[in-house]
Chains A and B, each alone.
Chain A
């Protein structure tokens, strides 16, 4: 699915086209790359592939910027493009051969190591790392849609309507996925207590 189709499917009224933001790809990357990378990486669980998808996402967005009519935020638009790229990847598995050589599964230990040592007491940091590991473990047990909805809601801070637009899933179904995802995460955290 291309970006033109993406923008035509989204209907947000009353928002100006953020033209300058989309025309300057460096600014676009600077502003959204980290959040997109986080979302894609935790969606697919592979960091190198996530970077490749994020790069594709920015190129698609830049090339299709003329079709962006400002009916949603750039943030939502980018996430929708990224999600479609992830779905494309899952359908075609075009990176399977490549990834067999580069096993770069998302490493929670590496993620936890980004915690600055000065952030808190060692006990606090340890607790934080354990919590992150618990949530990451719980995510593995979720279906793709449940994980997507969970990440969009709690990582990206998107509302139900925004998630519905970005995923092309009805708001009620989004709520159902979210409910099941939270239940699983809650149970997982409870188990590890």
Chain B
């Protein structure tokens, strides 16, 4: 107590329901503190009572929860959507792999996969080039069976490419 009356702390304790002995004794003897305490307490009590009465009179909107059927359908639709999404992702990945496949193929192919006729053609072409470069020199491989005109036309096509 400060001087004659209750401190703020004691007042708070009294209102909060804690009842310090000294404060209660003071309330019994001090009319001013007693009157103030009763007034504040009555104000707070009235505030709570009227507030509750007001809230009780407000119309309550109906809060509806989804029925079992709706919840079941919702769960089913969610699972279906998840499955569809997964299928779409897998299909997309598959398609992408398929589109990439032709480009990857030739990179991994070996000479053993090529037909013999193509190898023979390439050999002939290389020999012709060799012959053209070393015009006067003897080629170790005979290319006489190739027609002169045929050789030139093929060589020029290859060089153009």
Asked whether, in the complex, the Cβ of B58 is within 8 Å of the Cβ of A37, the reply is yes
- The answer to whether A183 and B40 touch (CB under 8 A), given A37-B58, A110-B54, A111-B51, is no
Asked whether, in the complex, the Cβ of A38 is within 8 Å of the Cβ of B9, the reply is no
Interface segment, one of B41-49, B80-88, B124-132? B41-49
Of the residues B8, B52, B63, contact of A58 by C-beta under 8 Å: B63
Query: Is B36 in the interface zone, CB < 8 Å from A?
Result: yes
Of the residues A34, A59, A111, contact of B50 by C-beta under 8 Å: A111
Tell me the dominant secondary structure on chain A's binding face: helix
Asked whether, in the complex, the Cβ of A35 is within 8 Å of the Cβ of B55, the reply is yes
Q: How large is the interface on B (under 10, 10 to 19, 20 to 34, 35 or more residues)?
A: 20 to 34
Complex CA distance for A55 and B59, rounded to whole angstroms: 12
* Residues of chain B within 8 A of A136, CB atoms compared: 47
User: Chain B: which residue is nearest A186 at the CB level?
Assistant: B40
User: Chain B: which residue is nearest A153 at the CB level?
Assistant: B16
Nearest-neighbour CB distance to chain B for A41, whole angstroms, equals 7
Interface segment, one of A72-80, A83-91, A127-135? A127-135
Asked whether, in the complex, the Cβ of B15 is within 8 Å of the Cβ of A182, the reply is yes
Interface residues of A (CB under 8 A from B): 25-26, 29, 33-35, 37-38, 41-42, 47, 51, 55, 58-59, 62, 110-112, 114-115, 128, 131-132, 134-136, 153-155, 160, 178-179, 182-183, 185-186, 189-190, 193
